[in-house]
DNA sequence: CACCCATTATTCAAACTTGAACAGAAGTCT
DNA sequence: AGACTTCTGTTCAAGTTTGAATAATGGGTG
């Protein structure tokens, strides 16, 4: 099965932009640079959409578009549950050697309730503290000559990375608790894309897809 | 194709322990915790060995073992070249969102010449400095209101992680240049595994495989 | 208008990954 | 000795990933 990172990202963009077709989602994800920091190649997106549809996390609507049809996807309830689960896991899991899951959690933070986010990040603080302590133990063992010296440098780097994250995490939590940033169900952010931005195109297309889907049902 | 991380790791362990069978390599990699920080599952190892053999990076020897046969692998020259290339790339490439490649480079440092390692790490310092500067630029752009606020926190974390790595890198380079650590072609390290360690079993088996292979040829 | 190139939207065969299963050897407990 | 679990060594079908190909449309330029 695809990784937590991959699944959360794709369900996340569907949730953000639904109704949307594969190409829109692909364009969006590529603009986030997912090829580099997640390991999603453009070719994967369509097959993952098919898989998610089979699993009941999203719904596929084949809408007529001139003389052809476009495959447009919307979230299903099971998908929203799954996304919540994935984002919580991504927010809570500390892994210095694979921060990409956490980056997804941050990128998709606007989809999560403020309260849930704070709870998850507190849990993350606890986990980070534990991992930090474990690393200190391991370093002590290595220092007593129980493993080759190269290992100790590697552990030292890992420890410093975890400590850096802990410091950042404290700042981030403070910012959220001070009422900063915008989360699910809260007023629109002060920020909006520039007028000439291609982002509005996506919004218009989604609007049109939504109308077609509603018309089909009614 | 499998990722740089994966390929370097498997070629690396073959290089360290050849001649060895799939199970030995699997055991070794699992003891390194590759399931967690690389994304290698045990099941993948055998098929990757088959692939590498097809590509001419390693050689497969089917040795008789009682009434069955064991598939034992040794490095081919092309594999040694490929491993050098992969380890250099892993050492040089800075990616705050995927440090696993660098961890491989560190784990397998004893397979690289000291001089090559220093050269690669200097290049890494340059790359890290460039990425750090790019992140500062992006943060400035976001601060001017060109993107949602969540993004700036994410960039801030990435920046801090890169800075942490730069500091560690300077220390590591200093240690190497002061003559610390052991690299390819240098005297055996002061460290050796405890007497009762299972590590010696691997050494004995490899020895036996080597004799069988040499006998076959001769 | 005719030509060329970029964008849109998707499919697919070939390769890769993986969980699960197999079967024999070797230890362990009663 | 018999029963039971773990270790050794590997295969494989089912599922996933991806590079490349397809085809239609839109836009700019001489």
Whether residue B15 contacts residue B75, with contact meaning beta carbons closer than 8 Å, is answered with yes
Give dist(CA B115, CA B215) in Å, integer: 37
So what's the pLDDT on residue B165? 98
Residue nearest to nucleotide C24 (CA to C1'): B68
Which one of A99, A163, A191 has the shortest CB-CB distance to B97? A99
- Per domain, the residue ranges of chain A are 1-110, 113-186
pLDDT at A199: 73
Candidates 2.60.40.1180, 3.40.225.10, 3.10.20.30, 1.10.10.10; CATH matching A1-110: 1.10.10.10
Q: Which residues 29-48 on B are within 7 A of strand D at the CB atom?
A: 43, 46-47
Work out the pLDDT band at A23, boundaries 50, 70, 90.
very high
The closest of B86, B138, B5 to A100, measured between CA atoms, is B5
Nearest CA-CA distance, residue A148 and chain B, Å: 6
Whether A196 shows a pLDDT value over 70: the answer reads no
Distance A6 CA to D4 C1' (A): 42
Give the CA-to-C1' distance from B22 to C16 in angstroms: 18
Kindly determine whether residue A103 and residue B95, on different chains, have CB atoms separated by under 8 Å.
Answer: no
Verify whether the Cβ–Cβ distance B191 to A106 is below 8 Å: no
Query: What per-residue confidence (pLDDT) applies to B193?
Result: 61
Report which of residues A34 and A199 the model is more confident about.
A34
Q: Is A132 on the interface with B (CB under 8 A)?
A: no
Residue A207: partners with Cβ closer than 8 Å, 6 or more residues away? none
Question: In a 10 Å sphere around its CB, with 0-12 CB exposed, 13-18 middle and 19+ buried, how is residue A213 labelled?
Answer: middle
Q: Which residues contact B132 (CB under 8 A, 6 or more apart)?
A: B159, B162, B163, B166
Distance in angstroms, CA of A98 to C1' of C11?
32
- pLDDT mean by block of 10 residues, chain B; 218 residues: 92 97 96 92 97 97 91 97 97 94 96 97 98 95 81 94 98 94 81 65 92 88
d(CA A162, CA A131): 8
A79-119 tens-digit pLDDT: 999 999 999 999 999 999 999 999 999 999 999 999 999 99
Tell me the shortest Cα–Cα distance from B14 to chain A, in angstroms.
Answer: 19
Q: Which residue has the tokens 């190409």?
A: A23
For residues A54-80, give the mean pLDDT.
95
Q: Which pLDDT score, from 0 to 100, does residue B192 have?
A: 64
CA–CA dist A40, B11 (Å, integer):
24
Using CB atoms, pick whichever of A97, A157, A189 lies closest to residue B149.
A189
Half-sphere exposure of B6 (CA within 13 A, CB side): 17
Closest residue by Cα to residue B61 from B53, B76, B52, B71 = B71
- CATH class belonging to B1-82: mainly alpha
- The three-state DSSP-derived secondary structure of chain A is CCCHHHHHHHHHHHHHHCCEEHHHHHHHHHHCCHHHHCCCCHHHHHHHHHHHHHHCCEEEEEEEECCEEEEEEEECHHHHHHHHHHHHHHHHCCCCCCCHHHHHHHHCHHHCCHHHHHHHHHHHHHHHHHHHHHHHHHHHHHHHHHCCHHHHHHHHHHHHHHHHHHHHHHHHHHHHHCCCCCCCCCCCCCCCCCCCCCHHHHHHHHHHHHHHHHHHHC
CA of A4 to C1' of D27 (A): 40
A32 CA vs D4 C1’ separation (Å):
54
Chain B positions touching A3 (Cβ under 8 A) are 39
Q: Which residues of A touch B98 (CB under 8 A)?
A: 37, 98, 100
Which residue carries 């034992």 as its tokens?
A: B72
Chain B residues whose CB is inside 8 A of the A98 CB are: 37, 98, 100
* Higher-scoring residue by pLDDT: A151, A7: A7
Q: Are B46 and B25 spatial neighbours (Cβ–Cβ below 8 Å)?
A: no
Tell me which chain B residues have a C-beta less than 8 angstroms from the C-beta of A153.
Answer: 106, 172, 175, 181
The count of CB pairs under 8 A between chains A and B is 100
A198 — pLDDT class (breaks 50, 70, 90): low
CB–CB of B82/B11 below 8 Å?
Answer: yes
CA of A41 to C1' of C10 (A): 15
Report chain A's mean pLDDT, rounded to a whole number. Answer: 92
What mean pLDDT comes out for the span A213-218? 85
The predicted-structure confidence for A41-59, as pLDDT tens digits, reads as follows 999 999 999 999 999 999 9
Q: What is the pLDDT of residue A218?
A: 74
Q: What is the pLDDT of residues A137-183, one digit of tens each?
A: 999 988 887 777 788 899 999 999 999 999 999 999 999 999 989 99
A21 nearest nt, CA–C1' = C9
> What pLDDT sits at residue A17?
95
Range A19-38 average pLDDT: 95
B contact residues 77-106, partner A, Cβ 8 Å cutoff: 95-100, 103, 106
Taking CB atoms and an 8 Å cutoff, what residues of chain B touch A151? 107
Q: Give the residue-averaged pLDDT of A18-26.
A: 97
A59, β-bridge pairs: A74
Residue A190: predicted pLDDT: 60
Residues with CB under 7 A from strand C: A 1, 21-24, 26-27, 43, 46-47, 65, 69-72; B 1-3, 6, 39-44, 46-48, 51, 66-67
Q: CA B6 to CA B87: how far, in whole Å?
A: 11
């Amino acid at each position: 099965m695809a990784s937590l990172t991959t699944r959360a990202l794709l369900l996340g963009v569907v949730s953000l932009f639904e109704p949307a077709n594969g190409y829109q989602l692909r364009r969006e994800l590529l603009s986030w640079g997912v090829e580099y920091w997640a390991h999603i190649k453009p070719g994967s997106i369509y097959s993952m959409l098919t898989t998610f549809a089979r699993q009941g996390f999203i719904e596929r609507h084949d809408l007529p578009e001139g003389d052809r049809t476009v495959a447009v996807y919307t979230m299903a309830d099971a998908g929203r549950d799954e996304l919540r689960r994935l984002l919580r896991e991504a927010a809570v899991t500390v892994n210095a050697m694979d921060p990409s899951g956490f980056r997804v959690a941050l990128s998709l933070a606007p989809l999560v309730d403020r309260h849930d986010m704070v709870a998850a990040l507190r849990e993350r603080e606890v986990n980070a503290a534990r991992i930090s302590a474990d690393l200190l133990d391991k370093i002590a063992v290595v220092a007593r000559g129980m493993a080759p010296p190269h290992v100790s440098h590697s552990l030292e780097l890992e420890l410093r990375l975890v400590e850096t994250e802990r410091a950042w995490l404290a700042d981030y939590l403070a910012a959220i608790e001070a009422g900063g940033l915008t989360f699910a169900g809260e007023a629109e952010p002060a920020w909006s894309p520039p007028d000439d931005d291609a982002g509005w195109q996506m919004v218009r297309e989604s609007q049109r897809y939504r109308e077609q889907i509603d018309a089909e049902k009614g």
